[in-house]
Amino acid sequence: MFYEKHSGSSNPLLIQAANNLVARRRAAESNDAVMLAARVGITPDAWQADVLRSTERQVALLCSRQAGKSTVTSLLALHEALHRPRALVLLLSPSLRQSQELFLKVKQAYGVLGGEQIQAREESALRMQFSNDARIVALPGTEATIRGYSGVDLLIIDEASRVSDELYQAVRPMLAVSGGRIVLLTTPFGKRGFFHHEWTEGGDEWRKVKITAHDCPRISPAWLESERKRIGDWWFRQEYLCEFVENTDQVFSYDDIRRALDPDVKPLFGG
C-alpha cells in the first residue's frame, strides 16, 4: 500500500523522491487495476484479476451468487474514476436498493485508500464527484432516471438478466460517442431477455466470463449440497451453476421455439 501525501520532512530531496515514487506508482496503477485492488486490501481471484486487466469494450460476467462479481466491478468503477479525469461511470441495477448496494462497495473501497491524491469533492448516497471531475453515479433501472446522461465512459449493469430489454436498448446509445465500455454482471434468469441473447448470440463482440460456485474457493462443497436441497434444483442450477434453465411457466421450450423459426418465411405485416 502506498500513500500520496508526505509530511514530517522538510528535506526537498526526500520530498521530491517521495513524489516521484508516487507518480511512478500511479502511472503503473493506471494501467493495472489489480494494483488498486491491492491498495484496498483485496487479493483478487485469477478470473477477477483478468477482468480488472481487461481492455475489451463489452464484458459479460455470468457468475454464481457470492462469486465476487460485485467486488470486481466496484473496483473497475473506482479505478476508472481515479485514473481518468472527467470520466462518467454509471452503475445501473433493476432497483434503487441494488444500485445503492453496488455503490456502497465503491465507497467502501475508496474509504480504505489512505492519502489518496484524487479527493472525493462531493458525495451522497448515490453519487461521488472527484477532484479530477470524474463522477460515479448509481441509478435505479428506469428510463426516466437515465435518459439525461450521455458520454458515458463505463456503464455497469448489475443483475442484468433482470433488467428489461427496453432499458438496455435505451442505455446503449450513451456509449456511441464516448466509445465507452459496458460491463454486464448477473446470475441467469431463464432463457430470455437481452443478457441471454448477448451471451448466446453476441459472438466475439463480447468477452464472456462464467464462474460457477464450484469455481469459487470461498464456497464449500458441503454448503452447496445443503443449499441444493433447501432451494431445489431449478433455482440451484441458476443461482450457483449459472445455467439458463427453462422458465417454469413456459408452454414451449426455448429450443423448440428456435427450431420452429424459419428465416425464409416473410412476415405478413411490416417491412
Per the structure, how many domains does the chain have?
1
State mean pLDDT over 49-70: 97
pLDDT category at 248 given cuts 50, 70, 90 is low
Percent helix, strand, coil in the chain (nearest 5)? 45, 15, 40
Q: CA 233, CA 239: separation in Å to the nearest integer?
A: 10
pLDDT digits (tens, 9 = 90+) for 158-217: 999 999 999 999 999 999 989 999 999 999 999 999 999 999 999 999 999 999 999 999
Nearest one of 266, 254, 268, 137 to 200, comparing CA atoms: 254
Does a structural domain hold residue 80? yes
The four Cα atoms 258, 261, 267, 268 give a dihedral, to 10 degrees, of -110
Domain that includes residue 165, residue range: 13-256
State mean pLDDT over 110-128: 90
Does a structural domain hold residue 40? yes
State mean pLDDT over 88-111: 95
Does a structural domain hold residue 263? no
pTM for the whole thing? 0.84
Does a structural domain hold residue 132? yes
Does a structural domain hold residue 92? yes
Contact (Cβ atoms closer than 8 angstroms) between residue 52 and residue 44? yes
CATH code, 110: 3.40.50.300
pLDDT digits (tens, 9 = 90+) for 19-41: 677 778 888 999 999 999 999 99
Q: What percent of the chain has pLDDT over 70?
A: 86
- State yes or no: pLDDT of 260 exceeds 70: no
State mean pLDDT over 58-70: 97
Does a structural domain hold residue 267? no
Does a structural domain hold residue 4? no
Q: CA 133, CA 128: separation in Å to the nearest integer?
A: 10
pLDDT at 254: 41
Does a structural domain hold residue 107? yes
Contact (Cβ atoms closer than 8 angstroms) between residue 127 and residue 137? yes
pLDDT at 225: 95
